[in-house]
Chain A
């Protein structure tokens, strides 16, 4: 056994050791932070310069790029670079899937925290974790082999459609929304529920008039995070949406999104060509949108802190 030192010595000795560790720890952590930040900045700068090249170097009109519905980059005589159908497709599937998944996810969260906390959580929690763990290619594959034929036979159209993309994305973002919404609801203090019940409110009144408003900033954050995921998802959507260059005129029309066009075309366009550069421009739009989502999330969480 080690000899017991006087308290003073012990303190001094451990103090020295602690300081050494302190320095090493600090350096390590700073290093990690620096790497993270520089990677992010590099990607942003790279995507920024690459994304702007089509406009600056190749002379594609940014207005045309954002607003025109004609996408025909391979036409040698008269190439057209209107990405609006894809921008529209991205926003459409994002908002539609959020519209489907937000009520479902928030509803499930309320069910787990307020209605049946004991067994509701026991069943739904693993289900959600499972849904998160399924890779997107599997979602796409199931969508392709089950959903697309189902829509074709029972609803109409080709099956490859905005609708199919929306449904697949809804299921994919459901766990994100549900798990954050569940945290939001279960982190609300018990005293809020007590206060409401003590005034004679029913459970439903308490949920609707106290708990949901109190959790709203976080619930909105949950929905935005879900939307960010939907906006960026490529593979699963690409497998079911049909990938056409025309603007869809109904739910059942095939469509395309920024991400699906990028994944489909990045392989067979040559680096530096106009078409390849316009793909980078689409990537830039994705990056800008993800900044927008981050700003929104920041805004909501600052509102939450104010409460």
Chain B
């Protein structure tokens, strides 16, 4: 397993354990995440993928009775340290959810939401951010004439891209995505995958997926989780052609999971 930490590491997770009450959901996870790479997380249902990704921006804090030990170093700072500025962390580590969850507001207000709460007031500046974020997710041409209409009028795929734009608007450097295409049709899925490949130039992306093809298409690194353990983390090509662990091989060849 390649767990060498370098200057290219954005997240460096060391010996992370997590319990939901008595249930040991993440076990001794060591996981470096590299800058400007796409890391895919695969594994059978219930293995802890969502749990893991939610620890990276501490959304896990909203689940009651969670206990964690170990370190999650983000740019050298352990975010499990109590003195952490959550607002700052989430500004920098954006998240996209399984199902697009736009606010029942206009398209513009959705994208401007993050910058506004973080203190951007000037209209021209907001306009600029909104335009740029929507362009980044290739939604601009589709919505530029109806920026002030309800976001919930968009299609499912458009809503999901809007949510990505909303996350990009706070200028994060990491983007977490938990099964971002599992509720979408194949064409919308393809669009999001293309988008991920483009965003990779500027952002570090961690994506949870149940779709092996998707993992192999979009990611540089793939991590295989099983029952709360990180079984294997390696280059995607290696994982899919020549995995070191037989459980990984069993999973990707569809023998279980």
Residues of chain A having any CB pair with chain B under 8 Å: 189, 191-192, 194-202, 205, 209-210, 213-214, 306-307
Contacts and interface: CB of A to CB of B under 8 A. Distances in A.
B204 interface: no
Interface in B79-107: 86-91, 94-95, 97, 99, 101-105
Nearest to A214: B104
Contacts of A192: 101, 103-104
Given A191-B99, A195-B97, A307-B152, A200 B118 contact: yes
A23 B80 CA distance: 65
Interface residues of B, number: 29
Contact of A307 (B117, B150, B163): B150
A191 B104 contact: no
B102 to A, nearest CB: 8
Nearest to A211: B103
Contacts of A306: 150
Count chain B CB atoms within 10 A of each CB in A191, A198, A201 and give the residue with the most: A198
A190 to B, nearest CB: 9
B113 interface: yes
Nearest to B57: A198
A199 B152 contact: no
A116 B186 CA distance: 42
B170 interface: yes
Contacts of B57: 198
Contacts of A196: 103, 113
A197 B170 CA distance: 13
A98 B56 CA distance: 45
Contact of B59 (A197, A209, A210, A307): A197
Given A213-B104, A214-B104, A201 B99 contact: no
A191 B88 contact: no
A198 B102 CA distance: 12
A201 B97 contact: no
B35 interface: no
Contacts of B91: 199-200
Given A200-B170, A214-B104, A195 B163 contact: yes
Nearest to A202: B87
20 contacts: A189-B101, A191-B97, A194-B59, A194-B97, A196-B103, A197-B90, A199-B91, A199-B114, A199-B166, A200-B88, A200-B89, A200-B90, A200-B114, A200-B117, A200-B170, A201-B87, A209-B117, A210-B113, A214-B104, A307-B152
Given A191-B101, A195-B166, A199-B167, 19 more contacts: A192-B104, A194-B59, A195-B103, A195-B163, A198-B57, A198-B167, A199-B94, A200-B88, A200-B118, A201-B117, A202-B87, A209-B116, A209-B117, A210-B103, A213-B103, A214-B103, A214-B104, A306-B150, A307-B104
